[in-house]
Amino acid sequence: MIITTTDLHTSLQPKQKTIQEFHSELVKKQEEIENQHLIIDFSKENNVTIEELLLFLDISSQIKDSGMSFVIVSKEIYMDELPEELVIVPTFIEAEDILQMDAIERELGF
């Protein structure tokens, strides 16, 4: 797992062979990345499936419950087939835009 931290967020990019392996490692590191806005970057991964994306639903919910943001970057977007709690965008720049919009909503009390 490649971890990149900025003042605004932490981005994670898989080095594992499968999304399931990446998810397992992320679960192990969850305490380390707690209270950080997260971007999971699958932009270099091909053929990410709905089932693989759904693995991150619990993590997304936990992070959002703590008042932080969680966004997945993936070229394969299945918006109609995924729950609203899982935010998926096609580019890293859009992920950063989502984090900024979430921050504005929190400031306004939404």
Long-range contacts of 84-87 (CB under 8 A, 24+ apart): 85/57, 85/60, 85/61, 86/53, 86/54, 86/56, 86/57, 86/60, 87/60
Q: How far apart are CA 1 and CA 7, in angstroms?
A: 20
Could you read off the pLDDT tens digit of each residue along the chain, which spans 110 residues? 888 888 888 899 988 788 899 999 988 888 877 788 999 999 888 788 888 889 999 888 888 888 889 999 998 777 778 888 899 999 999 999 999 988 888 888 76
Check if the beta carbon of residue 99 is closer than 8 Å to that of residue 37: yes
**Tokens read off for 85:** 């709690």
The structure's pTM equals 0.87
Task: Return the CATH architecture of domain 2-108.
Answer: 2-Layer Sandwich (3.30)
